[in-house]
Amino acid sequence: MPTISKKGIQMPASPIRKLTPFADQAKREGKKIYHLNIGQPDIETPEVMLNALKNIDFKVWAYTPSEGTLSYRTKLAEYYNKINYNISPSDILVTNGGSEAITIAMQACLNPGEEVIIPEPFYANYNGFACSADIIVKPIMSYIDNGFALPSIAEFEKVITEKTKAIAICNPNNPTGYLYSREELEALRELCLKYDLYLFSDEAYREFCYDGREFLSPMHLEGLENNVVVFDTVSKRYSACGARIGCIITKNNELYQTCLKFAQARLSPSLEGQIAGEAAVDTPDSYFEAVSKEYTARRDVLVAGLNSIDGVFCPNPGGAFYVVAKLPIDNADKFCQWILEEFDYNNETVMMAPATGFYSTPGAGQNEVRLAYVLNQDDLKKALKCLEEALKAYSLR
């Protein structure tokens, strides 16, 4: 029997999905599960987007250009220029979800063995993409005590070597919900210019900023045109995770042309996804206002609820729809499995993502979990009650 590749063996299983078999088993046993483990919002996709899908009028479901249709990229550029990105359609490369955007950019920018610095905890699949591209993630620690703020520039400089090629941030952050400030972005700007680094900016959660705080992108900073690579997706913005439409944005034309070669190899993003994505740009402001109001309320319920449980600490995030909370446990992987396998409260339980999968430093985050507030407030309250009872029961085992 032929062997599996080393990369295949090293490739991490998704920490968000790896507990799925235990959840499936719990469901078979009749338990109701509150899914706080995955960033799949329950919010409805905008009607304009679903209607575009229902009203498709092509007879041949054809390839599009590898970079995406001009029509979609033109409309997308409008969206980005409303928020002052000052880009043209030729700066946008449409991808199969944000995931493919990251994979392509990593391969186009970094040689095998080169390094990207990422504040941890970070979106777990960055590990998978890096493993797949044979590049090295250099984590630097951010801390729950200050809400996971950007580590100091001195911390970045400590790990910069000749192999460092890029810094990656996710803003607002998955998994911490942290929203970077202008000062933090300016500091990254200086660092990237000083060391000639790419700045990868994963902006999947751009539309989810709370408490009146403004979203700022490295795209808004001057002099970084050749360094900044934005990753975006319709997944969260329009609650359309299943559409698998994302994009790379860069004003660095040489890099764009290189990414395009990777895109040409896989031929095309989906036609209907781009049609729907184009329609989505006309989603009315009222949709986002309602969504933002709902997420703010959910965040408030979840953060307050968590902090009211004995021994639990959860900072109040400025964006996205995740929190990372510290629990009075010593091993989140075991606890998150236990709560599915061996616990229920009135025949209900909670699925969470152990935070260890979001850290690259071994042993970090062992008493933390990520919770996505993608359920309505009533369900969140029930999930919180479950968690509270579970922690009591766990401590008494």
110 touches a copy of itself (CB under 8 A): yes
Three-state secondary-structure class, residue 12: coil
Answer for the pair 233, 201: CB distance below 8 angstroms, yes or no. Answer: no
Q: Closest distance between a copy of itself and the C-beta of residue 12, in Å?
A: 7
**What would the x/- binding string for a copy of itself be over residues 278 to 307, using CB under 8 A?**
------------------------------
Q: Which of 160, 187, 271, 364 forms a contact with a copy of itself (CB under 8 A)?
A: 271
SS3 120: strand
- Shortest distance (Å) from residue 24 CB to a copy of itself: 10
Q: Which residue in the set 91, 100, 184, 344 belongs to the binding site for a copy of itself (CB under 8 A)?
A: 100
The DSSP result for 137-167, as a single string, is: EEEEE--GGGTSPPPPHHHHHHH--TTEEEE
Candidates 72, 80, 93, 103; binder of a copy of itself (CB under 8 A) is: 103
Residue list 57-76, contact with a copy of itself (CB under 8 A): 58-66
Q: Which two tokens stand for residue 157?
A: 């400089």
Q: Considering the rule CB under 8 A, would residue 1 count as an interface residue with a copy of itself? A: yes
Least Cβ distance, residue 146 to a copy of itself (angstroms)? 30
Q: Which is nearer to a copy of itself, 1 or 396 (CB)?
A: 1
Cα–Cα distance measured from residue 322 to residue 366, given in angstroms and rounded to the nearest whole number: 18
First to last CA, the chain: 44
* Shortest reach from residue 271's CB to a copy of itself, in Å: 3
Q: Identity (one letter) of the amino acid at 349?
A: T
Identity (one letter) of the amino acid at 11?
A: M
Interface stretch with a copy of itself, choices 83-91, 257-265, 283-291, 335-343 (CB under 8 A): 257-265
Residues 6+ apart with CB under 8 A from 111: 135, 165
Does 262 contact a copy of itself by CB under 8 A?
yes
Segment near a copy of itself (CB under 8 A); pick from 100-108, 173-181, 338-346, 361-369: 100-108
- For every residue of 226-284, DSSP letters joined together read TTEEEEEEHHHHTT-GGG--EEEE-S-HHHHHHHHHHHHHT----HHHHHHHHHHTT--
Name residues contacting a copy of itself, limited to 180-209 (CB under 8 A).
196-198
Q: Find the part of the chain contacting a copy of itself (CB under 8 A) among 129-137, 147-155, 285-293, 339-347.
A: 129-137
For a copy of itself (CB under 8 A), the number of binding residues is: 84
**41 lines the binding site for a copy of itself (CB under 8 A):** yes
| Rounded Cα distance, 334 and 243, in Å | 33
